[in-house]
Chains A and B, each alone.
Chain A
C-alpha cells in the first residue's frame, strides 16, 4: 500500500474560504430582501447548496480525501435529494 502524504491546508486558504462564505451569505441576505417570491426561495437554496459544498470540500477536507470517501459523501447527498424529489412527486400527484 502506498504511503499517502497528509495534506496540510494553509491558514490563508482557510481565510479565503471564509471570505467567500461571508460574501455568499451577504448575497443571500440581499436577494431575499428584494422579495421575488418563489425566485428568491430558489436563489436562497442554491446559494445555501454552494456554501455547503464549499464547507465540505475545503473545511471538511473532502478535496484531499480518497475517491471512496468522495463517492460515499456524494452518494448520500444524491440519496437525500431523491428522498425529497420522490416525496414531492407523491405529494403533488395524490
Chain B
C-alpha cells in the first residue's frame, strides 16, 4: 500500500519534470524561429514595397486551408490526451490517427505549393530568383527557409505521433503513463504556434 503511494508520488514528480524539460526545449525552438522572424521584420521594414509584391505570389487560399488543418489537428491531439486520461484507448488511437491524417494533408498542400513555385523556376539559387529585385529575393529566401524549417518540424511531429500510436496500441502509453503523448502534444502545438505567426506574415499581409 505504502509502496504504491510512493510510486504514484514519484510518477507525479517525473511527469512534472518531464514536462518542464519539454518546455525548456520548446523555448529553444521558439528562439530558433524567433531569429528568422527578426530577420523577416527588419528586411520587411527595409524593403516593404518588394515584400508586398512578392507576398502576392503566394496563394492565400492554400495558406488558409493549411491553417485550418493545423488548428483542427491541435484540437484532436489535445483530445487524444483527454481520451488517454479517461482510459478510452480506442478513441485516443483514433484521435492520434486523425491528427496524423491532417498533418499529411498539410504536407501534401505544402508539396503542391512548392512544386508550383518550382515550375516557375522559383527556388533558392535559381536564375529567375537571382534577377528579382533584392527585397523579393529576400522574401522568397525567407519564405523557403521558414516554411521549410516548419515543414521539417511537421515531419518530426508526425514521427512522434506515429510512435505514440504504436505505444498506445501496445498499452505502453496508458492512463497511468502518458508523458510521451503529453510531450508530443506540446511539440505538435508548437508546430501550430509557429504556423499561426507564419501564416499572416507570409500569406496575408500583401
Q: How far is the CB of B56 from chain A (nearest CB, A)?
A: 11
Q: Which residues of A contact B12 (CB under 8 A)?
A: 3-4
A59 to B41, Cβ gap below 8 A?
no
Task: Report the Cα distance A89→B100, complex, angstroms.
Answer: 43
B75 at the interface (CB under 8 A from A): yes
B193 to A55, Cβ gap below 8 A?
yes
The number of A-B residue pairs with CB atoms under 8 Å apart is: 102
B60 at the interface (CB under 8 A from A): yes
Tell me what chain B mostly uses at the interface: helix, strand, loop, or mixed.
helix
Which bracket fits the contact residues of A?
A: 35 or more
Task: Report the Cα distance A45→B30, complex, angstroms.
Answer: 17
Name A34-68 residues within 8 Å CB distance of B. 35, 40-41, 44-45, 47-48, 51-52, 55-56, 58-60, 65-66
Q: Which residues of B contact A84 (CB under 8 A)?
A: 37-38, 41
B85 at the interface (CB under 8 A from A): yes
Of the candidates A15, A29, A47, the one having the most CB atoms from chain B within 10 angstroms of its own CB is A29
Q: Which residue of B lies closest to A4 (CB)?
A: B12
Q: How far is the CB of B72 from chain A (nearest CB, A)?
A: 7
